[in-house]
Every structure is written in structure tokens, then in C-alpha cells.
Amino acid sequence: MTNITQILTAVERGDPVAAAELLPLVYDELRRLAAEKMACEKPGQTLQATALVHEAYLRLVGASQVQPWNSRGHFFAAAAEAMRRILIENARSKHRLKRGGERRRVELADAAAPSPDENLLALDEALNRLAAEDLVAARVVELRRFAGLGHEEIAGVLGITVYQARQKWTYARAWLRDALSG
């Protein structure tokens, strides 16, 4: 754990060797997170878990202005947010006119369920509204849903108690259920 934090500090200082050392240490965990996110997507996606990991990693470490990493948890929270943004951008691009966004896809199945892309866009919209009302609750949902962190890790990343993390999670789930059902 401290090795990752030390390497993150070296990356922050601009050490090019540190970025190469970091990837093997965090790759498996980032790949697991990406696979969880991609499991919620419909089959046949052009974006694969490996591509999601690489794009998120490049956004975090390959950026021209590297942000300071306070800890391993902070890095993985930022990775979760980067993955969320990439998935949202991918879902939005599918709805653009040049990608056939004006055409309506017709499913021949009997069950009319919203597509995972639509669910993800609706969740993003709801999370943005929740963040305006309660930023900590929205961050708890991001860390839980997109980073797969537990209450203890969320509390550490956000600087709140485990009890508060659980409270915010319960509140946010109820809030999102109401927002997404209406």
C-alpha cells in the first residue's frame, strides 16, 4: 500500500519511470473495476474493459498536469470517476446524430427494458442533481458504484466516519430510487 503511495508521489513530481512502475501495481485492481462496470453494459460494446482501464489510466497519469495523490484510495477514487466519465462520453456519443442517434432502435423482445446506456445517462443526470443537493452523498455513490469501494474505504477517501458513509449511502440509494422511478 505504501509502495503505491510512494510511486504516486513520484508520478506527481513528474518522474517518468514512476508511471511505468505504477501500472503493474494497480492494473489488476483497475481491470477488476472496469470489468464490473462493463458487466452492466449491454453485450457487443465497442468499448472493452481493457480499453476502459487504459483510457482511465492515461487520463490520470498521462495528463499534462498531474494532480497530487494523497493516498491509494484517492487514486482509485479518481480512477472510478475517470471510468464513469469515459462510460458517459461513450453513451453520449452513441446518441449523436452522426452515429445514428436520430434513429430509434427497435427491439423484437417482449420485455421493454431501458438499455444500459440510457440507464447510465439517467444515473449520471440523477447523480448531478444529487450532488447539487448533497455532494458527499453523490461522492459516496460514485465511490461505491464506480470504484467498488466499501464503507471503510469511502470514509477514508472522503474524510468522514464509517457511520456517516453508511448513512449517506442509505440516503443516496433512497434519493436515487425516487429520482429514477419518476
Q: What is the pLDDT of residues 68-92, one digit of tens each?
A: 667 777 777 888 888 888 888 887 7
What confidence tier does 136 reach under pLDDT thresholds 50, 70, 90?
A: very high
- Residue 170 reports pLDDT greater than 80: yes
- At 44 the pLDDT is 58
Tell me which amino acid residue 84 is: R
3-state secondary structure of 60: helix
- Pairwise pLDDT comparison (20 vs 1), residue with the higher score: 20
Matching residue, cell 447539487 = 132
On the question of pLDDT at 105 being above 60, the answer is no
Distance between CA atoms of residues 99 and 113, nearest Å: 22
**Per-residue pLDDT at 132:** 94
Q: Which domains does the chain show, CATH number per domain?
A: 1-100 (1.10.1740), 113-182 (1.10.10.10)
Of the listed ranges 20-34, 101-115, 116-130, 168-182, the one predicted with least confidence: 101-115
| DSSP code, position 98 | G
Contacts for 118 with CB less than 8 Å, ≥ 6 apart? 91
> What is the reported pTM?
0.50
Single-letter code of the amino acid located at 35: A
> Given pLDDT bands bounded at 50, 70 and 90, which one contains residue 46?
low
